[in-house]
């Protein structure tokens, strides 16, 4: 079937500027046929988007974007077709958001006890997406003259087991993937460039581990960044039997350089990617139904 899609949109339910209904209207204005709302660690915007999509004739795929602990910072797992009405999923996500909210104030408090006074709101106001991390806190420490460099801030205070360290309590990649599977969704690795793995063999290796954990696809067409080695992703996906998805990571007028449906470039994503994604819903790996292996892993 014809038509174009955008499977990575943020609404006011996370850090986007448009409501789910406004996103639907915007997508129709851009002549899209299908979209997915993928807010950070929440599925709350899906109900409104699905209803508006149904009323206006736009296919809306329920989605979410999970934050996952990663050795080089954080990675994101997109979950498509998750059962966004399941209260158990709401509870899991609420818990994750709570962890995230608690961590930064705890770090700021520990620093205050050490005589370092920082204002979390002031740090947050300076960054685009509102997700304050330790590097932002370190930069604020440099700015306020407590340390000479970000490196010093980490070495003296913020490093793992340092005096101002607070453990992350984030999902691991296998946990995130299994969470999506448990609620009937297809887990897809978002914007693989953020892994910062330059070596193609190393990337393939990493992805094959995620595949063993239950990964269903790769967001090969990340329209917000033109540096994506799409050919390489396609090649790895074929070898590992993963589907390819794509989207703009549209946040609305807060990031005017990113357009719905095309991101920062001119590429449009064909509808057949949705068909391939749909096919993955039924071909979930055995471990999603196996209560032994996967749940044992989740309890770790």
Q: Which is nearer to Zn ion, 194 or 208 (CB)?
A: 194
Residue 157 C-beta: closest distance to Zn ion, Å: 28
Residue spans of alpha helices (H) in the chain: 20-29, 46-56, 87-113, 120-126, 134-143, 150-153, 173-182, 200-213, 230-240, 272-282, 293-298
Residue 75 C-beta: closest distance to Zn ion, Å: 8
Task: Catalog residues that contact Zn ion under the rule CB under 5 A.
Answer: 65, 76, 190, 249
Q: Which is nearer to Zn ion, 80 or 157 (CB)?
A: 80
Q: Which is nearer to Zn ion, 189 or 190 (CB)?
A: 190
Residue 192 C-beta: closest distance to Zn ion, Å: 11
Residue 65 C-beta: closest distance to Zn ion, Å: 5
Chain position whose Cβ is nearest to Zn ion:
76
Rounded Cα distance between 167 and 107, Å, is 10
Residue 115 C-beta: closest distance to Zn ion, Å: 36
Rounded Cα distance between 277 and 94, Å, is 26
Rounded Cα distance between 70 and 285, Å, is 23
Q: Which is nearer to Zn ion, 41 or 92 (CB)?
A: 41
Tell the burial category of 238 from Cβ atoms under 10 Å away from its Cβ (0-12, 13-18, 19+).
exposed
Q: Which is nearer to Zn ion, 67 or 294 (CB)?
A: 67
């Amino acid at each position: 079937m014809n038509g174009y899609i955008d499977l990575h949109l943020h609404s006011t339910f996370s850090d986007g500027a448009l409501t789910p209904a406004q996103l639907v209207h915007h997508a129709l204005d851009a002549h899209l046929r299908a979209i997915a709302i993928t807010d950070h660690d929440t599925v709350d915007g899906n109900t409104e988007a699905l209803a508006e999509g149904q009323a206006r004739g736009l296919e809306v795929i329920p989605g979410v974007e999970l934050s996952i602990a990663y050795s080089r910072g954080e990675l994101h797992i997109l979950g498509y077709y998750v059962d966004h009405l399941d209260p158990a999923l709401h509870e899991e996500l609420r818990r994750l958001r709570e962890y995230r909210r608690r961590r930064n104030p705890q770090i700021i408090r520990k620093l205050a006890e050490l005589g370092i006074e920082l204002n979390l709101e002031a740090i947050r106001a300076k960054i685009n997406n509102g997700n304050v991390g330790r590097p932002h806190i370190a930069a604020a420490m440099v700015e306020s003259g407590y340390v000479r460099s970000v490196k010093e801030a980490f070495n003296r205070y913020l490093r793992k087991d340092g005096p101002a360290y607070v453990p992350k309590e984030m999902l691991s990649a296998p946990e995130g993937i299994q969470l999506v599977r448990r609620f009937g969704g297809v887990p897809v690795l978002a914007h693989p460039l953020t892994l910062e793995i330059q070596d193609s063999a190393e990337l393939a290796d990493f992805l094959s581990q995620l595949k063993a954990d239950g990964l269903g696809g790769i967001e090969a067409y990340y329209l917000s960044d033109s540096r994506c080695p799409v050919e390489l992703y396609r090649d790895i996906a074929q070898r590992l039997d993963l589907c390819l998805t794509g989207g703009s990571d549209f946040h609305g007028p807060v990031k005017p350089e990113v357009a719905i449906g095309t991101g920062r470039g001119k590429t449009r994503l064909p509808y057949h990617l949705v068909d391939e994604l749909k096919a993955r819903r039924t071909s979930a790996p055995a471990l999603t139904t196996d209560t032994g292996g996967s749940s044992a892993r989740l309890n770790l």
